[in-house]
Structure 1
Amino acid sequence: METSAFLIDIGRYYLIVGVVVAAFFLGIGIDRIDPSSRGSYAFRPLLIPGICLLWPLVLYRWLALEKKSGDGEGS
């Protein structure tokens, strides 16, 4: 019984972090990563479930692209 409660808690925390990442990414990050997404707010809610499930990959790619674009601006 404790194992199932523990697994449910892990899933809950994973999704909570996913919701936070989705909020930040859709509010700040998507405009910086993909300039063509500016002004198109109707499709962003469709991305929420995917970002909540794949948030580690989204964070990794977001940080990698931010770092890459930061390196190119100085030259």
Structure 2
Amino acid sequence: METAAFLIELGRYYLYAGGVVAAAFLVVGIDRVEPSANGSYAFRPLLIPGICLIWPLVLYRWISLERARGGQP
């Protein structure tokens, strides 16, 4: 029983972290990573579930692209 509760808690914290990354990425990062997404706000809520699930990949890609650009806005 403790193992199941631990796994549920672990999944909950994983999704919390995904929500934080999704919020930051959709507010700040998406315009910097994909310039064609500039001004398209209607589809951004549709991306939240996917970003919450694959947030480590999104975060890695966002950081690697920012480093490649030199951190320029």
Do the structures match in fold with TM over 0.5? yes
Q: Structure 1 segments of 4 or more deviating over 6 A?
A: none
Letter in 2 for 1:66: E
1:46 aligns to 2:46 (yes or no): yes
Letter in 1 for 2:59: L
Question: CA RMSD for the aligned pairs?
Answer: 1.2
- Radius of gyration: which is bigger? 1
Q: Distance in 2 between matches of 1:35 and 1:59?
A: 17
Counterpart of 1:37 in structure 2 is: 37
Cα distance, 1:52 vs. partner? 0.1
Spell out, residue by residue over 1:19-51, the C-alpha distance to the aligned partner (whole angstroms, 9 max, x if none).
Answer: 000000000000111111111001101100000
Taking structure 1 as the reference length, the TM-score comes to 0.92
Taking structure 2 as the reference length, the TM-score comes to 0.94
Aligned length: 72
